[in-house]
Amino acid sequence: MGHFSDVLELVDIPAPEPGPGQVLVEVGAAGLNFADLLVCQGRYQVRSPLPLVPGLEAAGRVVASGPAVDLPVGSRVVGMVAPPHGAFAQFTLMDAATALVLPDTVDDVTAVSMHVAYQTAWFALHRRGGIGPGDVVIVHAAAGGVGSAALELAVAAGARVVATAGGPEKVAACLNAGAWRAVDHRRADYESRIREAIGERGADLVFDPVGGSIGELSMRLLAWEGRHLVIGFASGDVPRVRANHVLVKNYSVVGVHWAGYLEHDPVAVAEAHSALLELLARGRIRPPEVTVLDMDRLLTGLSDLEERRTTGRLVLSVNTFDGGQP
């Protein structure tokens, strides 16, 4: 294990064999996520045996199935893969129980670009955060993959979104996506600007995939009975939670481990999938800005993720279904 540039190799290997409850999927598109960097380093919370193929989410077509599977061969699906058989390959494995069927109106790139990011944002804002119309919501890293999904879903829910992002181009992208205010976190006056944007009452919700000092500041920005949604720690630092401050302001620090629902409540994941497809069909949300890469540019894409040079989602195209009749 180590840095992706040192440990990843492009090689030919046999397609994996689906076991009980699994399907073999011909990959059309695979999402690139910050977690893929951690997988390569051996720092991801779920460790897989070596050798492994990285890539956590894929969209494609079922081409074979193992025992005890009802999902028909030929179905188009999006979902999380079954490690160590990752998504950065022509074929991968998925658990049939958590593979979500796609309509032909949604292509592979769109499906995988939305899957983890929009599912995570949906569960955070709706199930864990109880978002409502008129809520003031701070979305950190709002020009990134999961942050841009949270921004869009919060706006669709009728909230006033204060977005944070790094640099004027990303700030402009947040405003174009519907943010009520957008603040550049690289500015020296960042804290005063975000306080001005949310007003004296504070924020009802904070969507925080960053952690560290940003997370600690965010807890101070919460309104009475606000909710701080812990999505991840892209900064590399886990914020400190002051229990006395939680008590005095009566706010909640809420964990959002979306992948856990795949095991504990897959029906809720399927319901969120249906709700997101309906919002997409009605034009209430739009597919995110996507940069599509071929396999030869995978390392470049991972480097862009590492250096935070991305806006929207990065997607690896393998054998992509682009809508219409297969």
C-beta of residue 87 within 8 angstroms of C-beta of residue 31: yes
Lowest mean pLDDT of 56-70, 233-247, 267-281, name the range. Answer: 233-247
Calpha distance 170→54 (Å, rounded) = 28
Please report which confidence band the pLDDT of residue 309 belongs to, taking 50, 70 and 90 as the band edges: confident
Phi, psi of 272 (to 5 degrees): -65, -40
Give the ranges where the chain is alpha helix by DSSP (H): 4-7, 34-41, 108-122, 145-156, 168-176, 190-198, 212-220, 243-249, 258-264, 266-281, 298-306
pLDDT at 321 over 50: no
Tell me what pLDDT residue 43 has.
76
pLDDT for residue 14 is more than 60: yes
Chain Cα centroid distance, residue 324: 26
Is pLDDT of 177 > 80? yes
**How many C-alpha atoms does 212 have within 13 Å on its Cβ side?**
10
pLDDT value at residue 7 = 85
Give the burial class of 120: count Cβ atoms within 10 A of its Cβ; 0-12 exposed, 13-18 middle, 19 or more buried: buried
Q: Read off the pLDDT band of 234 (50, 70, 90).
A: confident
Q: Tell me if residue 183 falls in helix, strand or coil.
A: strand
SS3 at position 56: coil
What's residue 50's pLDDT? 84
Higher pLDDT: 145 or 27? It is 27
Tell me the pLDDT band of 273, cut-offs 50, 70 and 90: very high
Length of the chain: 326
**Residue 228 clears pLDDT 70, i.e. is over it:** yes
Q: Are 37 and 306 in contact (CB under 8 A)?
A: yes
> Which has more pLDDT, 118 or 33?
118
Q: Which domains occur in the chain, in start order?
A: 4-114+287-317 (3.90.180.10), 133-256 (3.40.50.720)
CA 143, CA 163: separation in Å to the nearest integer? 8
Confidence of residue 323 (pLDDT cuts 50, 70, 90): very low
pLDDT at 320: 52
Q: How far apart are CA 31 and CA 58, in angstroms?
A: 6
What's the rounded mean pLDDT across residues 306-310?
84
Alpha-carbon gap, residue 307 to 148, rounded angstroms: 18
Comparison of pLDDT for 27 and 235, the residue scoring more: 27
Q: Give pairs for 41-50: CB < 8 Å, separation 24+.
A: 41/1, 41/2, 41/3, 41/4, 42/1, 42/2, 46/83, 46/259, 48/83, 48/84, 49/84, 50/1, 50/84
